[in-house]
Chains A and B, each alone.
Chain A
Amino acid sequence: MAQVAVADDLISFSAEGPRLIGGRCTRTGAYAFPFPTGPLAEGFERVELGRTGTLWSFTVQRFAPKPPFIGAQDNFTPYAVGYVELPGEIIVETRIKTDSFAGLKIGMPMRITLDAIARTPGGDDIVTYAFEPA
């Protein structure tokens, strides 16, 4: 089975692992995520964001979201979400992969990973970015 990304221009893949595609303002140096679209894109250069950071805040999604969520509605498995602060760059919102919701603590080190959230009709995994305790 292959993996397909949930969206283009969101995650870069290499042998070293996934990274988020963000933008850096060519004038002010400010970071943006996701990479800006439309007229806003002109002022930004593409950058790969850092792989590691710290947990800024979090919660657990304990009920199945309605569409456009593409994950399972039946047999829904709760998942954690949070914000991870990438030092010197930006704070990004993300799903969190963990076996222990109770173990999540603000300030803990985190690193980027991938999370399969659904399958295509052909049986491929649809993956998005996530962070996990480092």
Chain B
Amino acid sequence: MSDVFIVGAGIHPFGRHDTRSGLDQGVVAVREALADAGLSWPDMQFAFGGSSASGNADALLPRMGLTGVQFVNVANGCATGGSAMLSGYWAIKSGEFDIGVAIGFDKHPRGAFNPDPEQWGLPKWYGETGLMLTTQFFGMKIQRYMHLHGISPRTLALVAEKAFANGALAPHAWRRQPVDADTILQAETVNDPLTKYMFCSPSEGAVALILASEKRARAMGRADVRIRGAAVRTRPEGSFEVFAPSLRLERGGSATALAAKAAFEMAGLGPEDIDVAQLQDTESGAEIMHMAENGFCADGDQERLIQDGETRLGGRMPVNTDGGCLACGEPVAASGLRQVYENVVQLRGTAGARQVEGARVGYSQVYGAPGLSAVAILGRA
């Protein structure tokens, strides 16, 4: 068994790119990752790639080179990118391979997603009657959380304000103009209690990460960012998830809590050891709830932590240092890999104006439909 290192990272900026396909954005990200690692495509022993709306990820092959490389297409909902990385992690950890790449790219139409109920194993009426919208779920989850744990609408706005402030400092972010909390609070409501600035939008982008065994990473002189823990988990009984026509009376945990626990155990670390965190912020409330679900605070403590600026750059534990989904948008298959990319940059100390001083351990968590979560913990060697 080998430890696994991230030896190359590439990103195609997130946002809207009308003249460039999702696939071509993937090409740009892979090239950048290879250049970052000082490698070329024929060096890749495997590739795990995913795209949810831009066709088959292995359409990259004729564009990168028909080297005969083992390419596996990955489809795992909102954790597609995280699952591609996890697959590469296992491939190297097992000793079967020394080096390979995990890729995610996407390009979504504008506006909210409109899923087909039958593809989700749900009755047609659920979509026909206007209940099958992800945005409704997010509104209802944070509405109840605010009621139970005393979170104020202003705290929701402060999360979005921070996202746009951080996005302004990240070259790969989409929304790079700061927006103040009052403007965010007074903007039109999309799904109560969330206004339009509190929701991320489907967008476009691509990320590629080159993974290597410890031996290979050392030979390259690139053994600086190690994957300390990585896990994907699905929803347990009693969790509250998107697209649920009913819920049991007995309430339970969450996919995120399970994935966090597994990744922390693998890493031999706890929440107190994390210097910088990228947490799924599909909307402002998600970031707040995920702070607790990942173990960084108790339910309700977010009100004070966020009001005190603890999650801002310069705070005790900066969250979503590149502006997260709120500032980058959400190209589904690339989004989780963007979080890992941001942690690689932070741990290398090359994040520029958004650098978290002395960051040695980075945490990322992507969550999405139909109720799964992928966590990765990176450590500076």
**CB-based A-B contact count at 8 angstroms:** 115
Contact with A along B233-271 (1 / 0, CB 8 A): 000000000001111110000000000000000000000
Q: Which residues of B contact A83 (CB under 8 A)?
A: 140, 247
Interface centre among A30, A32, A66, A93 (most CB of B within 10 A): A93
Q: Which of B133, B193, B244, B246 contacts A65 (CB 8 A)?
A: B133
User: Would you call B144 an interface residue if the criterion is a C-beta within 8 Å of the partner chain's C-beta atoms?
Assistant: yes
A58 and B141 alpha carbons, distance in the complex (Å): 9
Mask for B127-170, Cβ within 8 A of A = 1, else 0? 11111110010011101100100000000000000000000000
| Chain A 51-73 interface 0/1 with B at a Cβ cutoff of 8 Å (1 = within) | 00000111111110111111100
Closest B residue to A37 by beta carbon equals: B123
Residue contact B189 to A79, C-beta cutoff 8 Å: no
Sample of 9 more A-B contacts, CB < 8 Å, known A60-B192, A66-B112, A106-B144: A10-B123, A57-B147, A61-B136, A66-B111, A69-B130, A91-B247, A94-B131, A106-B143, A128-B129
- Does the CB pair B192–A71 fall under 8 Å? no
10 residue pairs of the A-B complex, CB under 8 angstroms, read A6-B128, A7-B123, A34-B123, A57-B141, A58-B192, A59-B139, A60-B192, A65-B132, A92-B246, A94-B131
Enumerate chain B residues within 8 angstroms of A59, measured Cβ to Cβ. Answer: 136, 139-140, 143, 191-193
A33–B125 alpha-carbon span in the complex (Å)? 13
Interface members, chain B 171-204 (any A CB < 8 Å): 188-193
In the complex, B43 has a CB within 8 A of chain A: no
Across the interface, which residues of B come within 8 angstroms of A56, CB to CB? Answer: 144, 247
Are A68 and B131 CB-contacts (below 8 A) given A62-B189, A101-B192, A106-B144?
no
Contacts of B17 in A (CB 8 A): none
Please state if B114 and A66 are interface contacts (CB–CB under 8 Å). yes
In the complex, what residues of A have CB within 8 A of residue B124's CB?
7, 68
B248 partner, pick from A60, A61, A90, beta carbons under 8 A: A90
Q: How many residues of A contact B (CB 8 A)?
A: 42
- Chain B residue numbers with a CB within 8 Å of A68 are 114, 116-117, 124, 127-128, 132
Most chain-B Cβ atoms within 10 A of its Cβ — which of A7, A10, A57, A79?
A57
On whether the beta carbons of B131 and A93 are closer than 8 Å, the reply is yes
Tell whether, in the assembled complex, residue A81 and residue B130 are in contact, meaning their CB atoms are under 8 Å apart: yes
The residue of chain B having its C-beta at the shortest distance from the C-beta of A92 within the complex is: B246
Report the separation of the CA atoms of residues A39 and B356 in the bound assembly, to the nearest whole angstrom: 53
Chain A nearest CB, measured from B76 CB (Å): 24
Nearest CB of chain B from residue A35's CB, rounded to whole Å: 10
CB neighbours (8 Å) of B136 from chain A are 59, 61, 81
The answer to whether B143 touches A61, judged by C-beta atoms less than 8 angstroms apart, is no
Report the nearest B residue to A63, measured CB to CB. Answer: B190
Question: Is the C-beta of A89 less than 8 angstroms from some C-beta in chain B?
Answer: yes
How far is it, in angstroms, between the C-alpha of A82 and the C-alpha of B129 when the chains are bound? Answer: 13
A32/B246 contact (C-beta < 8 A), A68-B116, A82-B140, A83-B140 known: yes
